[in-house]
Structure formats: C-alpha cells, structure tokens
C-alpha cells in the first residue's frame, strides 16, 4: 500500500509541469521564444496553452462577445501563425455542423424531387386511363364499385391534366 501511494504522488508531481501556462513572444533580436514564464511587460505575447483545460466552445483569449470572437477569427485567418487548440476545435465543429446542414438540405431536395417524379408518374397513368375511354369506376364510401358518368370523367381528366402540368414540368 505504501508503494502505491508513493507511486501516485510521484506521478502527480511529474505531471505538474505538463499543466503549465505556455507563452509565445518575439525577443529584441527578432527570434520567436516559447516559454512557460511570462515575457517582460513591454513585449507583446500570446498565450498558447492554459493550465486548466478550456471548454470546447470557449471564445478566443481576450474576446468577450460574439462579434469580437468573429473579429478574432478573421484576424487569426489573416495571420499565418498557428491557432490555439480550442480555436481549431471550434472551427472543426463549425465545419462539421455546416456540412451536416448542407447534407440535410441536399437530402430534402432529393426527397422532394423523388416525390415530384412519383406524383408525375401517377398523374400520367391516371390521365392515360381517362384518355383511353370506356367505362370508369371509383370505389364509393360504402366500399362498392360505382361507375362514373361522362361529366365526372371529364372533371377527373381535367384534374389529372392539371396535376401532370404541375409535377411534370
């Protein structure tokens, strides 16, 4: 038991430096420096990693509103430097969400086109049936076959023609 607790303490002690804040800054000679200590106050720096894990949807460092987040994203896209992990994750999720929306819209369009084609096919079949002539029947509310008169056939034929024009254009 004693060895186990010592091993756990040693593991935790070794993990402490891994959670340190990282800074990126350019020194007076123009070289990029990566350190875990903050640079001098007169030098502009960029935080690379927070010691605590940031939430996935957290805004960029220094931004407090959605407009500022968009401005930061534009600035980040304009500069050639690497983006933080949270920004990359946020951009990935946005791309994934946009792709899902586009795929859903494409699926809806395909379904509408299939429905329209099926309606066209049915309307053409009905119109051909009415144009063929002869006796036409319908099932009435009692479930019995009823013959249509000439006026009913003409009305149904005109209705089928309108459906064909609407769905088969």
Q: What is the pLDDT of residues 56-111, one digit of tens each?
A: 454 455 445 555 555 555 555 555 567 888 889 999 999 999 999 999 999 999 99
Q: What is the pLDDT of residues 120-132, one digit of tens each?
A: 898 888 888 888 8
Domain ranges (residues) in the chain: 114-167
Reply yes or no on whether the pLDDT at 51 is more than 60: no
Task: Give this prediction's pTM.
Answer: 0.41
Residue 32 vs residues 25, 41, 44, 46, 71: alpha-carbon distances, Å = 6, 16, 12, 11, 25
């Amino acid at each position: 038991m004693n060895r186990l607790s010592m091993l756990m303490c040693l593991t935790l002690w070794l993990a402490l430096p891994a959670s340190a804040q990282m800074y990126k800054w350019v020194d007076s000679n123009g070289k990029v420096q990566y350190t875990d200590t903050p640079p001098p106050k007169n030098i502009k720096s960029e935080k690379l990693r927070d010691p605590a894990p940031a939430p996935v949807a957290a805004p960029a460092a220094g931004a407090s509103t959605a407009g500022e987040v968009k401005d930061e994203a534009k600035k980040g896209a304009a500069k050639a430097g690497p983006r933080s992990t949270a920004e990359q994750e946020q951009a990935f999720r946005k791309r994934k969400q946009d792709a899902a929306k586009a795929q859903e819209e494409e699926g809806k369009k395909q379904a509408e086109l299939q429905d329209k084609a099926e309606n066209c096919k049915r309307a053409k079949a009905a119109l051909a049936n009415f144009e063929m002539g002869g006796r036409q029947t319908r099932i009435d509310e009692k479930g019995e076959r009823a013959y249509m008169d000439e006026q009913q056939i003409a009305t149904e034929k005109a209705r089928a023609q309108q459906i064909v024009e609407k769905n088969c254009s």
